[in-house]
Amino acid sequence: MIDKKHMVVDSLYIAPGDIDMLALLDTVVDKILHCYSHILIAMDSSSSLRDDTCIGIPHSRRSLQMGVQLENIIIKYSLQIHNDGTATYRSGDISTAHDVTLSKGISDYGTVIWCVTDDNLQSPQST
């Protein structure tokens, strides 16, 4: 609870190509928003949403299809995207922005600032 208001906070991982998990996310978000008006979701979506490196990728690619499905969920529930397109994964020459932070009702508490920190986690994943 924040200021006596219930809030649902979730962190999840959606494996590459697991479109069924996005369908489940849609169902869960729907159920949560029927009971609560404040939600924060931080996820490793393994999709090409808001990732400029996906420009020119064929629409048949699973990651692009997942990005479109995730975008549909965002629109359906009027979720706010906090990411700014900054890469959150780097390994060699590869850098992608597949981590997504979404919310609804969080901005009621004031300005929300999203950023990538350069913590040394001994992992190619940024936080």
pLDDT of residue 4: 78
Q: Is residue 14 part of a domain?
A: yes
CA–CA separation, 110 vs 121, rounded Å?
30
State whether residue 124 is helix, strand or coil: coil
* 51 pLDDT above the threshold of 50: no
CA–CA separation, 58 vs 62, rounded Å?
9
CATH of residue 67: 3.60.10.10
Q: Is residue 15 part of a domain?
A: yes
62 vs 93, higher pLDDT: 93
Q: Is residue 35 part of a domain?
A: yes
Q: What angle do CA 17, 19, 25 make, to 5 degrees?
A: 130
State whether residue 106 is helix, strand or coil: helix
Q: How many domains does the chain have?
A: 1
Boundaries of domain holding 97: 8-109
What are the pLDDT digits (tens) for 88-111? Answer: 777 777 767 668 889 999 888 888
Residue closest to 100 by CA, chosen among 47, 43, 23: 43
Q: Is residue 54 part of a domain?
A: yes
Q: Is residue 124 part of a domain?
A: no
CA–CA separation, 15 vs 43, rounded Å?
11
CA–CA separation, 101 vs 2, rounded Å?
19
Q: Count H helices, E strands: the chain?
A: 2, 6
CA–CA separation, 70 vs 117, rounded Å?
24
Band (pLDDT 50/70/90 cuts) for residue 112 is confident
